[in-house]
Structure 1
């Protein structure tokens, strides 16, 4: 059964009740409850099963805090709770399991938030205040059409192919030329250039989100994101390089959920290692812009990432973008590259070093600083194609390049071994 809890008026119900397994957590909770103006007697000993038993014979409160620590099957038990909860109840779960899949599944079931033990007074205060805000400022009613949202991930097959340049340019184009409220998330936590390319300070927003995923909500997004212009907001970081990334990915999932509510477009600059560490990040992505170059290494990794996407993000549309293309200097011809990956290159962006330097000097995105250039024109075509998806659920960005190459399956291994012994081991340029 789907959880019945939806935002609604409190009515005459009790404003709050809690069912907590341990005394330590209860001791932290009670002073916060008193501070909120609620009755500390509503903080009951016992976890989720006790809550189900009690609520089966009594009215549900407006806000319910329930402990999953003693539950062997939290998701199944949450469904049992849904059977006895009245519509309108906002449920906050707490527990000891730090697992991003459980977090996502709980949110998908309708849970408002999930807090990890040991609890702190500040953590509880923030969570309960956010839950209370659901009633004072509810979201749009169910009868209203959902605001369309297109999420794009930009992934480079190799370092230095220009994925970050393309990500920031697409975000800028969505926001300015397509007039769409747009979020840019730079997931290169230590060395990201998203804010730098827009001549902005990254701030602590992304770092705070990673450290405190439970704080992420609409208000947090409004305060933490840095505004580049009226329609473009960015979330990035310059974390100390002696501080490793310590997260289970819950913050990134929650950020994506809030982006869907607050923006029409979102662009995620996603380093390759993020695919490996947090495969669930692409579960809700509509378009994956796979940025490559015409080299053997990029051909190999394009094949690998396309295969990964097929297994882990079957709902995302891959868009193959060849970057920094220079005529006559590629390791692999376009025809051989397309044959090796068994699909067409959707867009080719010409190499223009002067244009890139110009953007850096001006502190602008490449697309903004070089609006009359050939690379800028291609970026506009890409942005228009992706933005068009929001108005057409059946749009297929890769239709023109779908299917196998006319040359049939290309043997990349034979290409890797294809050397001209008379040229000192240098690779011969395949014919177009």
Structure 2
């Protein structure tokens, strides 16, 4: 039975005064992952159903907002703000009007946002047309709490589906280039800019700094996960996560030297899988070491960001990483490059255009050296976007967040502009 057929049967039974059946085994639906959902209602029936959903234990990790209005109200709201992971839109419009409104919504919708339509017309032709236009599901009102949670579960918790989340691995071409700082700031920026749930995993168990940068010292973290893979599930993950902000959680490193941290090649893969199934975005802070497990973590990531400073050793290491990762990931796009700490006084540097030429890439961002800006933020346990929201560095971090989440492309830079920038930085 299709969702549309089920909804028609439910509607008929409701008119006859019978209690609608619960579709499937509602009690066995797994808890939903950390996603953001906006519901737009045109009838009080759907509003009350969504309010009941918000109280259900399976929705405990879901950031749900309930709004009055239909498809056009959603298009108006998101014309100036990012769309959530899922939109649930009620409509009483006819097919032609609905398709026109969805066209307007598509113009402001992020590419990864899923859409569920709650309609009041049982029309198979409309259902097929909506699916062809990218709508994830069309269900006919009235809908129950089991219907709503069941549909969300089908979209985001299907055990046969690919993991929900996009994983972004940050690694430094050399120690001390600021890869961890950029990873932490990028994770915060994604969660803040897009109101998207993000999990930051600090994989440098011995010397990780995420707990310091977020002024958060949890008693448990990623060490418990990697040493207890048999216990790893959604409930165990929740216990290990530390809350950093409204939409950002962290798997902190112990940052202790009471043991050595030698891992098998696949040690972190179960952790990455469970993280991806529980959050739309995961940011991986990978230490500057080359081992079997770091290689496999980088190979498994959806996006790789290499941070380098503009000197010869960094160029050599970055070239080696680019060449190796291109061979290991022939069907993925090459790593993204951030040039950091550019313009340090009295330090001979390689200009960005010369640095990038052998790599055959454009830099994702060029971050100037600013010891005061980064030092004050670190000492205060704040991100750059919190301590200096209007700074050029904060703007660069925003652009990085847009690119690594697939919302923008790397902009090509003119060489003359790069030379001018370096000249200005050198005169500081």
Q: Same fold (TM over 0.5)?
A: yes
Q: Which residue of 2 aligns with 1:349?
A: 367
SS at match of 1:168: helix
Q: Which residue of 2 aligns with 1:194?
A: 210
Q: 1:218 to 1:202 in 2, by over 3 A?
A: same
Q: In the TM superposition, what is the alpha-carbon distance from 1:204 to its structure 2 partner?
A: 2.2
Find out whether 1:318 has 2:349 as its counterpart: no
- Are 1:288 and 1:316, in contact at CA under 8 Å, matched by a contact in 2? no
Residue-by-residue CA offset, 1:77-121 (whole Å, 9 max, x unaligned):
xxxxxxxxxxxxxxxxxxxxxxxxxxxxxxxxxxxxxxxxxxxxx
Q: Which residue of 1 aligns with 2:154?
A: 141
Q: Which structure would you say has the larger Rg?
A: 1
- Are 1:189 and 1:238, in contact at CA under 8 Å, matched by a contact in 2? yes
Structure 2 distance, partners of 1:143, 1:276, is 31
What is the root-mean-square deviation of aligned Cα atoms in Å? Answer: 3.0
Q: Which residue of 1 aligns with 2:402?
A: 384
- Map 1:272-351 onto structure 2 (within 5 A): 272-273=288-289, 276-314=292-330, 315-326=332-343, 329-351=347-369
SS at match of 1:368: helix
Structure 1 distance, partners of 2:325, 2:411, is 17
Q: Which residue of 1 aligns with 2:186?
A: 170
Q: In the TM superposition, what is the alpha-carbon distance from 1:139 to its structure 2 partner?
A: 8.9
- Are 1:225 and 1:235, in contact at CA under 8 Å, matched by a contact in 2? yes
Q: 1:316 to 1:233 in 2, by over 3 A?
A: farther
Q: 1:239 to 1:323 in 2, by over 3 A?
A: closer
Q: Which residue of 2 aligns with 1:218?
A: 234
- Are 1:286 and 1:316, in contact at CA under 8 Å, matched by a contact in 2? no
- Map 1:19-418 onto structure 2 (within 5 A): 140-141=153-154, 149-273=165-289, 276-314=292-330, 315-326=332-343, 329-389=347-407, 397-398=409-410, 400=412
State how many pairs are aligned: 265
Residue-by-residue CA offset, 1:318-375 (whole Å, 9 max, x unaligned):
1110001117744212232122323222210111111012102321123322212121
- Are 1:279 and 1:312, in contact at CA under 8 Å, matched by a contact in 2? no
Q: In the TM superposition, what is the alpha-carbon distance from 1:233 to its structure 2 partner?
A: 0.6
Structure 2 distance, partners of 1:338, 1:231, is 35
Structure 2 distance, partners of 1:333, 1:273, is 26
TM-score by length of 1: 0.56
SS at match of 1:340: coil
SS at match of 1:184: strand
Q: 1:370 to 1:187 in 2, by over 3 A?
A: same
> Structure 2, unaligned stretches of length 5 or more?
1-23, 27-149, 416-428
The runs of at least 4 aligned residues of structure 1 exceeding 3 Å deviation read: 142-148, 274-278, 327-330, 397-401
Residue-by-residue CA offset, 1:254-287 (whole Å, 9 max, x unaligned):
1111112111111001113155544221233121
- Are 2:170 and 2:183, in contact at CA under 8 Å, matched by a contact in 1? yes
Q: In the TM superposition, what is the alpha-carbon distance from 1:207 to its structure 2 partner?
A: 1.4
SS at match of 1:272: coil
Structure 1 distance, partners of 2:269, 2:333, is 16
Residue-by-residue CA offset, 1:274-315 (whole Å, 9 max, x unaligned):
555442212331211110110000000000000111122332
- Are 1:169 and 1:368, in contact at CA under 8 Å, matched by a contact in 2? no
TM-score by length of 2: 0.56
Q: 1:274 to 1:186 in 2, by over 3 A?
A: farther
Q: In the TM superposition, what is the alpha-carbon distance from 1:176 to its structure 2 partner?
A: 1.2
Q: In the TM superposition, what is the alpha-carbon distance from 1:399 to its structure 2 partner?
A: 7.3
- Are 1:189 and 1:237, in contact at CA under 8 Å, matched by a contact in 2? yes
Q: In the TM superposition, what is the alpha-carbon distance from 1:138 to its structure 2 partner?
A: 12
SS at match of 1:209: helix
Q: 1:149 to 1:296 in 2, by over 3 A?
A: same
Q: 1:9 to 1:386 in 2, by over 3 A?
A: same
Structure 2 distance, partners of 1:320, 1:204, is 32
Structure 2 distance, partners of 1:257, 1:222, is 14
Q: 1:142 to 1:336 in 2, by over 3 A?
A: closer
Q: Which residue of 2 aligns with 1:120?
A: none
Q: 1:280 to 1:336 in 2, by over 3 A?
A: same
